[in-house]
Amino acid sequence: MNSSDNSSADEASSNQEASSSSKEKPDLEDDMKRAAAKKLIERFFYQLTEGCGNPNCNNTNCASSGKLNPMTPNDAAGYALKLIKSQDAKLCEMHPNKIARINLDTTQSEKSNNIQDLDPSLLPSNDNAISECSTGKCNMKYNSAPVPTYLTEQALFEIIDECESSESYSPLIRTLGEIFSSIENLSRSFIQEPFSPSTSPSTKNPESDKIQYLNKEQLRHLEGEKDKDEDSCADSGSSTVLPVDLPAVRRAYAALFKLKTSIFENSLVNALVTLAGNLQMELPTRKEKDNHDDIINVLLIVFEIPALGSGDFLETALPAICRAAQWLPVEVQATLARMWSGPGRSAIRNILENLQQLITLRVIVTPFHRDFFIQDENVITSATKLMKILYYANMLAGVLESPSLRTMDEISDSMDESFLAVKLNKTIEPEDALAKVLGIHILDCRKPYLPYTEFYNEPLSDMVEMDRDFANFKSELGLFSGKFSFMNYPFILTPATKTMGLYFDNRIRMYSERRISILQAVTGQPSNPYLRLKVRRENIIEDALVELEMISMENPNDLKKQLVVEFEGEQGIDEGGVSKEFFQLVIEEIFNPDYAMFTMQNETRTVWFNPTSFETTAQFTLIGIVLGLAIYNNIILAVNFPMVLYRKLMGRKGSFEDLFDWNPILYNSLKQMLEYSEPDLEETFMQTFRISYQDVFGTIINYDLKEKGDRIPVTQENKYEFVDMYADFLLNESVEKQFRAFYKGFQMVVDESPLEQLFRPEEIELLICGSKNFDFDELENSTEYDGGYSNDTQVIKDFWSVVHAFSLEDKRKLLQFTTGSDRVPIGGLSKLKLVIAKNGPDSDRLPTAHTCFNVLLLPEYSSKDKLKDRLVKAINYSKGFGML
């Protein structure tokens, strides 16, 4: 029998060599068939030696049937080679955790060439063997069922049942250690049923066991070859097919973690650390085009572990996995994002919470110092990089809109040459490689799966030193030396922290312009290191717009200098407070209905461009400059634009969903039309493709969305087209001239700023308008005292008692009086850093303020009533700047 087996094996081997030598490049399908043959040999080997575990098995080629004489591993290997050629050979459904225990007692002399003909990976592992030494002689013997080379849900259930019945958890511990420490073993575990290594086609059709009947799709999953079909990586996460059976993984983990964690935690944690080490060694050696399906499977399974964010998993295993994951090629990151955004989307929250806990823990326990900053902590940075994959998965899993709504190229094409000259000098920020591969932009996501705010990490945001982070972000040396910057991962930073990054960028540009002016002065050229505006309070709009227009025409770069405002006839020196009042007064005048440049939506109290405005486009350009200057000079404005404006400023057209906060009544009526499913829509709504709107004078204006639109009724077939065209007209087409001029002025100031890279539209609204949370408890807790005052001083207690009793309007007036703005800064009132200083003993003088420095000068009034009287008069009747 051995002789014939050897000759058969030699014949097969010689045939293979002849076949391969006939081609310089062996056919991929032939290679895959050989790989599949190895898998079949392995399965036949275990079936012959250990059986399938089914006590009722009637397969004569299975040890469990009782019809097969016991075989040595040598004989079984040779017989397995013979069976794969047989037309009648049958494979059983394998149950590796129910295989009967066997004794293995072989010597070196019993081994034949049959074993050498097999791949070493096909031989049974001796990991389960123990050495029993007595009288100086050691015999190898299996003391338990062999550890499976992959894991299934049912297999884990049965191992747990066996361990509980025997009250010995060694098999479970060994299995977890063997599976979770190996990339190969874990990647083959919990595979979807059609692709499961344990499910052979023979279980349904015996004829399909033959190698010649294995098709390419089956071979691809047996061998792990990557077949890059177009439908294997869908753009939409919902159509992505997961290779891993995640519901089965979750059920398996649920059963595992019903046990006491102490039973298996050390084994699983150590296995994961080993796995991470293997990943760290493996990933850098792989090329971008190499197959990474096994890595994807491994990460999908590992990040389903429910306890990954607690105990030793959090302190040891998860950091190791994060450090390994930072080596993932961008294509693999994209695939992982698609997997998590599709059928795996329910895991997004749990994975995010685990990563947030890890980052927070490291921020709290790590002793950072002048030579070791938070950007140097590898666990924090690697977890942040991994969170970026989750961030894009969260967008893909949400509600997406068409990329065709992006309008940056269209807007740029319409600008005049002078503006394009400014844009050409702009420092182009590097494109996000992962976003490019995924074909997605932050503006494409109308509603993410989880709110973006859940990605903020406040402890990290409070700890990060933005001056250093900004240096890493901008430094060419930093880019090439791999210095990490959280500004490249802005989703994890709170808006208040990102504002500091924007502040550093703006200030550095201001100082750069100032140095250029000084150099010009040295060479005898006229220079002005500041953007100086001298205006009359009674003619503030005319004066401001005339000066800004001249500057924008002569040298737009002057707009990037630090703004200094002077009110004619007033003695105030602008250290920030004068500019704040200037902007407030300009905004009040610009949105005055008398100018008719903007219209007011009565329901939402938001303002929008007047499509029938008589003002020139230059006026809208200058308003855009004012808005850009406010951001550039870190000043909050009292404007109330709908969210669609900020989306348009970032390069996204308005669409139907934007009508919700622009005109809710119109939005709801159109939505009612879209949701109406009866065939009598035409008679019910009586709407055509002619629409009507009202100008500022109350005149009704008709407009045809299509030619002869009044003759085209809206029906079930064209209602979506009507709604899209209606929204496009109102938000884009009708105000195209006004918005493009406004956008041009805005970009003249912020074109080189990382504004768009750091902030989302809703965050830009916060940046411009401030927070809407008037929490004066925050202000009280953050206020500092000077000149002899403290929080225990009676006049201070009386002051806060009076302030907390103010109406919201009076609170706004107090903020205006003390800081120069009635808006709450991004991050809340605690960011104001108000200072209350003693201004002498009791007197009849009113309180005064240094708005540039947020300082309130408060006399020590003798009573609470007197304090309230003087304070109310001060905040209601004090305007202008004089010498204090």
CA distance 304 to 307: 9
Across the chain, which has 884 residues, the per-10-residue mean pLDDT values are 43 43 44 60 77 79 80 76 72 50 35 37 34 32 60 92 90 93 93 55 34 35 36 40 86 94 92 94 82 91 93 93 93 93 88 95 90 92 96 94 72 47 44 88 91 95 91 66 85 92 85 76 69 84 83 81 82 68 82 80 85 83 88 84 92 91 91 92 92 78 90 93 94 93 91 88 87 81 88 89 88 82 73 85 85 84 89 76 38
The predicted pLDDT at position 145 comes to 56
Per-residue confidence (pLDDT) for residue 576, from 0 to 100: 66
CA 455 – CA 351 distance, rounded (Å): 11
Q: What are phi and psi of 714, to 5 degrees?
A: -85, 125
What pLDDT does residue 420 have? 43
The pLDDT assigned to 273 comes to: 94
> In the prediction, which pLDDT does 105 show?
38
**DSSP string over 42-107:** HHHHHHHHT--S-TT---TTSGGGS-S----HHHHHHHHHHHTT-SS--PPPP-GGGPPP------
Same fold, 503-650+736-769 and 658-733: no
Question: Roughly how many angstroms between the first and final C-alpha of the chain, as a whole number?
Answer: 111
Bridge partner list, 244: 191
Cβ contact 246:351 at 8 Å = no
pTM exceeding the 0.75 threshold for the entire prediction = no
* Domain boundaries along the sequence of the chain: 1-145, 285-492, 503-650+736-769, 658-733, 776-877
776-877 topology per CATH: Hect, E3 ligase catalytic fold (3.30.2410)
CA distance 567 to 162: 86
Instruction: Please list, residue by residue across 841-879, b when 16 or more beta carbons sit within 10 angstroms of its beta carbon and e when fewer do.
Output: eeeeebbbbbbbebbbbbbbbeeeebbbebbbebbeeee
Beta partners for residue 191, in sequence order = 244
Q: Can you give the pLDDT at residue 879? A: 56
CATH homologous superfamily, domain 658-733: Hect, E3 ligase catalytic domain (3.30.2160.10)
Which residue in the list 57, 62, 445, 852 is annotated as catalytic? 852
How far apart, in whole angstroms, are the C-alpha atoms of residue 596 and residue 609? Answer: 9
852 a catalytic residue: yes
Q: Which CATH number is associated with domain 503-650+736-769?
A: 3.90.1750.10
CB 8, CB 195: distance < 8 Å: no
CA distance 503 to 424: 23
